[in-house]
Amino acid sequence: MSAMIRSQTVVAYLRQTAPFMEIASRCRPFGTAPTRDVSKLGYEEIPRTDAWKDDNGHGQYVLRCELLRPT
């Protein structure tokens, strides 16, 4: 049986670029909730993540990884 845990390396960081919009929320009956504009979803490659600053602390990322060969 092959190993269930595999070593990987990150080859690219991608950040969501769609802006936030305020929409009415069922969870907030008297307010709005920030939601991504689904008509503008997309990703851009960035050199590093900054979860504290990207989108005011609401950054969304995809990490593109490659499996490392077992040694």
Query: Distance between CA atoms of 7 and 10, rounded to whole angstroms?
Result: 10
What's the pTM? 0.74
User: Residue 51: which residues within 8 A CB-CB, separation 6 or more?
Assistant: 57, 59
> Model confidence over 8-54: pLDDT tens digits?
999 999 999 999 988 776 666 667 778 899 999 999 999 999 999 99
